[in-house]
Amino acid sequence: MVVVNSPDDGAALTHLRADGSAHMVDVSAKPETTRQATATATVHSTAEVLALLGAGGLPKGDALAVARVAGIMAAKKTPELVPLCHPLPLAKVTVDFELGADTVTILATVKTRGVTGVEMEALTAASVAALSVYDMIKAVDKHAVISGIRVLAKSGGKSGDWSVDA
């Protein structure tokens, strides 16, 4: 038997009721603050493919431009994809890329002024941008791998600022 929301563990799962059923958290009493989150994802491929990617020379075209727009669009669609996410008025979404010898690292940053954080929007943007890169390179590398999807930093809200470096 799995016990959910046990008061003994000190960390109740906020999206589950006492009976274990899911619900959307009531955030109506929370104060509005400026909130920001940055997430990352990495696509691993070959040096040859990364050279094509950086030069915009892939058969499907400019993969990074497509992935950037896909990531931005995905951040805006997060509550449609992740059932218990609140719709938020996103103020800014950026999707940037760092090309390595055999990797492309995606950095997605999302900002809002609202009552709940934007970690899920940043994760969704990074994930979908990585999927778009994969889609654009799969014609030349069927063995590409997506990894390392995670939140790197968040700021704002009751829990304050946090980063992987802190």
**In-domain check, residue 100:** yes
Active site residue 96: no
For residue 7, pLDDT beyond 80: no
| pTM of the model as a whole | 0.88
Specify whether the CB–CB gap between 121 and 88 falls below 8 A: yes
* pLDDT (0 to 100) of residue 23: 77
Domain for residue 72, yes or no? yes
163: in domain: no
The CATH code of the domain that includes 116 is: 3.30.70.640
Q: What are phi and psi of 130, to 5 degrees?
A: -65, -40
Cβ pair 25, 88 in contact under 8 A: no
- Is 25 within a domain? no
Return the pLDDT at 5.
Answer: 46
Catalytic residue among 19, 135, 141, 161, which? Answer: 135
Q: Flag whether 28 is in a domain.
A: no
pLDDT class for 6, splitting at 50, 70, 90? very low
Domain presence at residue 53:
yes
Q: Is a pLDDT exceeding 50 seen at residue 85?
A: yes
Mind listing the pLDDT tens digit for each residue in 19-55? 777 877 888 888 899 999 999 999 999 999 999 999 9
Give which of 101, 104, 92, 109 is closest to 152, Cα–Cα. 109
Q: Is residue 4 part of a domain?
A: no
Encode pLDDT of 101-159 as tens digits. 999 999 999 999 999 999 999 999 999 999 999 999 999 999 999 999 999 999 998 88
Number of domains in the chain: 1
- The verdict on residue 2 lying in a domain is no
Residue numbers of the domain that contains 99 = 33-157
